Amino acid sequence: MSMNRSLAKVGLIVLMAVGSVLLWIGSPLGWLWIGSQMQKDTQAAGFGPYLVVLAGIGVTAVALAKGLQRLNRLYGDVAGLGEPVRVVMPWHRGLRGENEGRAQRTVLDVVMIVSVAIGAVVMAYWFFFLAGSPKPSS
């Protein structure tokens, strides 16, 4: 039974990683492609494709975030972590500096941070080593 639980936890982490990549890369690229297909005539640019891309990215981001949140709760159930910690907002805390209500770090937090860090490193590598000079060559 422990092996099944471990496999379920690894599977949920993989699904969260895939969802994170879709959130940051897949959804924007997909909606940009859809918008480019709507704009056939490059001379007459209208606002329609831009609005579709903007709205599509927003709606897809909310849907993916909700799905990732559900996966994170499911991971908590499988791992036996129990209910999440109640977060007390700073303006509701006492002045003594207690650590009451500090939010617990979740697997989804770690997955999202790692995916953003990897994306930033890949973007920096592309920018500094692969993109080339923006100056026209003579």
User: pTM here?
Assistant: 0.71
Instruction: For the chain, give every domain's residue range.
Output: 2-84+102-128
For residue 46, CA distances in Å to 10, 30, 33, 53, 55 come to 46, 19, 16, 12, 15
* Cα angle, residue 28 at apex, residues 119 and 106 outer, rounded to 5°: 50
Indicate whether 99 pLDDT > 70. no
pLDDT at 91: 67
Angle between helices 48-79 and 107-125 (to 10 degrees): 140
Per-residue pLDDT, averaged over 31-56, amounts to 84
pLDDT of residue 138: 59
Q: What is the predicted pLDDT for the residue at 28?
A: 92
Sort 19 into a burial class: Cβ within 10 Å, 0-12 / 13-18 / 19+.
buried
